[in-house]
Amino acid sequence: MRRWRKRLLWVGIPVVVIVALRLTLFAPKPVPVTVYHVDRGRVEDTVVNSRAGTVESRLRAKMSPAIAGLVTAIPAKKGQRVKQGETLLRLDDTEARAQVVLAERSEDAAVAAADEACLNADQAERERKRTESMAEQKLVSAEVLEQAKTAAESAAAGCRARRESAKQARAALDAARAVLSKTVMQAPFDGVVLDVTTELGEWISPAPPGVFIPPVIDVIDPAALYVSAPIDEADVARLHLGLTVRITMDAFRGRSFLGKLTYTASYVETKQEQNRTLNVEAEFDSTSLPVNLLPGLSADLEIILDSRDKALRIPTYAILEGNRVLVVEGGKLVSRQVTTGLRNWEFTEITDGLSEGDAVVVSLDRPEVKAGAKVTVTDQAKPSDLTDTP
């Protein structure tokens, strides 16, 4: 009996030592994890553009001269703010002004000739009336009366012809003045000069039909900016005008701008090797935009379809396949099934499966982070780390 006890003792001692070592010295170290404590806050259901959009302006004028000419003055400078009607560029107007003076003199001569012809017509009409009176008294023959009538009618026709000539002279003067006005390029609206591509002394001319010539002056209205972007066809049915839009740009990282959905195209684009998309436009709510927010910048739209305040929420990336999350309970990870509501790329609403304050793991990039693993919380994610409020 003693012999069996000794044998059991010699076998049991190593087992106890091995178990003790596994539970102490060789025990797996807890996995460090980052958690997010379930809280309440705003959750939005959003749609984003499928490809990068572009900042554009509803008022942009790429201007070229209406006539050919020599550049004599360029009051406008790149980056300068201009008012509607302000002169941007002048062409040599020597010939055009001479044509206006010539047309003015021609009009004066035509008006004077018309006045003379009409005075003669009045005189001929008076002579006709006197001849008619004398004919009634048998003092002149019928032939003399007929000659007076013909002379009066001829003079009246001459008066009308001269007046029409005066009108033609007036039209010629208007045409000459119109040509003169084309020697000056003016701002079509209040805006900013984006570019000037000509120099003093350069000969410039309008583009012939079918031939593209770069504009001489480019003017935009920075207060009329909007963003145009494509939306995937799967989201078309959920859109309507007036929805709030959040606009972000690579040029303004960490900042967003609110706007409104103002346009949706009436057809879906079906370009080859691209997803079918619907083009939409959104205008900025604020007109006090940064001066370097210019047309041509790339931009992204996040269209807010629905939102809920004080919703129970967690980061969207914390949700695993099958609507599961990992929760820290008693130093271990426990898998929980959750029911979700509104969601976007930042937050997802939780309608069942979690309570406020639960510690949900968000550091899911390591294979050892799984249900049953012992963990230690080394960091906590905050709502401010996920949101980007304008």
Residues in CB range of 84: below 8 A, 6 or more apart: 186, 187, 188, 189, 190
The reported pLDDT for the residue numbered 17 is 45
d(CA 345, CA 49): 13
pLDDT higher than threshold 90 for residue 381: no
User: What pLDDT, in 10s, does the model give residues 191-210?
Assistant: 889 889 999 999 998 877 76
Report whether 310 contacts 40 (CB < 8 A): yes
- The pLDDT-based confidence of 12 (bands split at 50, 70, 90) is low
pTM across the whole model? 0.60
3-state helix, strand, coil in the chain (%, to 5): 30, 35, 35
Report whether 262 contacts 282 (CB < 8 A): yes
d(CA 194, CA 82): 11
Average pLDDT for 351-370: 90
Question: Both tokens of residue 231?
Answer: 């939306």
Question: Both tokens of residue 200?
Answer: 């003093």
The reported pLDDT for the residue numbered 338 is 93
The reported pLDDT for the residue numbered 346 is 87
Average pLDDT for 102-123: 92
Report whether 47 contacts 235 (CB < 8 A): yes
d(CA 109, CA 170): 11
Average pLDDT for 107-116: 92
Write down the mean pLDDT value for the chain: 86
d(CA 204, CA 201): 9
Q: At what angle do helices 142-181 and 94-136 cross, to 10 degrees?
A: 160
- The pLDDT-based confidence of 21 (bands split at 50, 70, 90) is very low
Residues in CB range of 10: below 8 A, 6 or more apart: none
User: What pLDDT, in 10s, does the model give residues 158-172?
Assistant: 999 999 999 999 999
The reported pLDDT for the residue numbered 191 is 87
- Amino acid letter for position 176: A
Handedness of CA 156, 158, 164, 169 (dihedral sign): negative
- The pLDDT-based confidence of 387 (bands split at 50, 70, 90) is low
pLDDT higher than threshold 60 for residue 14: no
pLDDT higher than threshold 60 for residue 389: no
pLDDT higher than threshold 70 for residue 217: yes
The Cβ-side half-sphere exposure at 77, using a 13 Å CA radius, reads 1
Secondary structure tally for the chain: helices H, strands E? 3, 22
User: What pLDDT, in 10s, does the model give residues 72-98?
Assistant: 999 989 888 899 999 999 999 999 999
